[in-house]
Amino acid sequence: MILLLAVTVGVFTLMNSVMIERDTYLVDETYAEEVSGSFRPCSPVERRSTMLGACNVSGDVDSSFRNITREVLGNIFVDDRHQVLSCFVAKVACSTWKYVLINATGKVSDIPPEKIPVHSRAFMRTLWLHVLSDYTQEEVDFRLRNYYKFMVVRHPFDRLTSAYREKFGPKNKVFHKIFGKQIVEKYRKNAKNKSLLTGSDVTFGEFVKYLINEKPTTYNAHWRRYYDVCDPCRVKYDHVAKLETITQDARIIFPKLAFSSDTKLPGRNVNLRPTTYDIEQGKNLSYMFTELPSGDVARLMRIYDLDFRLFGYQWDRTLNTARCHTPFGADTCC
């Protein structure tokens, strides 16, 4: 029996879609074939147990906050008013969750949603939303011990295909120039001059070749591993939210930010309708990986192995099927 990786189309159906990050599935409706059905989301306790268990197996059981790098601390946002820490990862509805954090300050109700610079650290600081690297070590230790901590993830391979479609799509000339040109030069035999000059036609297979031949610690933020971005084994997040179950996770997180679980945020329509899609369908994830050499898929799995194990994700190499499937006794959950 093939298990489905059901993914929520997005907690936030915003009035102005310009603020929806491209990795929310409203951007590409052909990608999301909606299906009926449901599955049990893992509880926060179950997800934390899975995460810490993977940390123990990997040998990464360092309990000292002092060994968390400044880079990781710079990825963790601090809401002192509500005593919440949140680590957001590119290509996992990052813009949407930053907007939630901004709205929780109560200071932007008079600003049109499309005018809010969610990725500006300077703007966030004007709202007293700092990152942990802004604090002294003693202040960091206090917040990590006492604040509610959450991060947001999605299936690692689903995230990679999303990053590829956006960053190497026809309109992203910046990434074509920075990454596309070097990828074509390194991994395409007999490349045409136009491709070498523009880097605008990188294939998914070439992107994967690039990933498996580069050092993961040098990856761009849009495909950097969760482990490297948020350091879950040292931070020990209280809750790991998943894009696959984000409607349910939002109901858990919203009260921590003083929103009711069914709140509608100012200026935006928050839709908590449970919507899912079948990630195995046609031209999507399964199809893209079917085209890859099995050796490349195996190497890619080794690179992202800890991300898979930390958050209960699997990849069926025989069926090219993504799974969100964590066993707890006779039961399973996502």
Dihedral-angle region of residue 286 (phi above 0 means left; psi in -120 to 50 means alpha; beta otherwise): alpha
The predicted pLDDT at position 263 comes to 62
Look at residue 53 and tell me whether its pLDDT is greater than 70: yes
How is residue 214 annotated by DSSP? S
Contact 313, 229 (CB under 8 A): no
Q: What is the pLDDT averaged over residues 287-304?
A: 94
Residue pair 309/302 in contact by the 8 Å Cβ criterion? no
Q: Is 191 exposed, middle or buried (0-12, 13-18, 19+ CB in 10 A)?
A: middle
User: Which 3-state string (H, E, C) describes 110-175?
Assistant: CCCHHHCCCCCHHHHHHCCEEEHHHCCHHHHHHHHHHCEEEEEECCHHHHHHHHHHHHCCCCCHHH
The answer to whether residue 47 scores a pLDDT higher than 90 is yes
pLDDT higher than threshold 60 for residue 272:
no
pLDDT, position 318: 85
Over residues 273-282, the mean pLDDT reads 36
For 186-201, what is each residue's pLDDT tens digit? 999 999 999 999 999 9
pTM of the full structure? 0.83
**Residue 247 neighbours by CB distance under 10 Å:** 18
What mean pLDDT value characterizes the chain? 82
Contacts of 144 (CB under 8 A, 6+ apart): 65, 68, 85, 132, 235
- Cα–Cα distance list, 183 to 88, 159, 191, 299 (Å): 27, 19, 11, 18
DSSP letter, residue 256:
G
Q: What is the pLDDT of residues 88-105, one digit of tens each?
A: 999 998 888 998 999 899
Total residue count of the chain as it appears in this document: 334
Lookup: tokens for 148: 């509610």
Rounded Cα–Cα distance for residues 256 and 263 (Å): 12
Determine the 3-state secondary structure of 17 from DSSP: helix
Q: For residues 317 and 157, what is the distance between their CA atoms, to the nearest angstrom?
A: 12
d(CA 75, CA 4): 31
The Cα–Cα gap between 238 and 23 comes to 24
User: Above 70 in pLDDT, residue 204?
Assistant: yes
Note the pLDDT tens digit of each residue in 128-183. Answer: 999 999 999 999 999 999 999 999 999 999 999 999 999 999 889 999 999 999 99
- The pair phi, psi for residue 62, each rounded to 5°, is -65, 120
Residue 277 has pLDDT above 60, yes or no: no
Mutual orientation of helices 204-213 and 294-303 as an angle, nearest 10°? 50
Report DSSP state, residue 225: -
pLDDT in tens, 168-185: 998 899 999 999 999 999
Domain boundaries, given as residue ranges, for the chain: 17-160+224-279+309-333
Determine phi and psi for 314, rounding to 5 degrees.
-135, 165
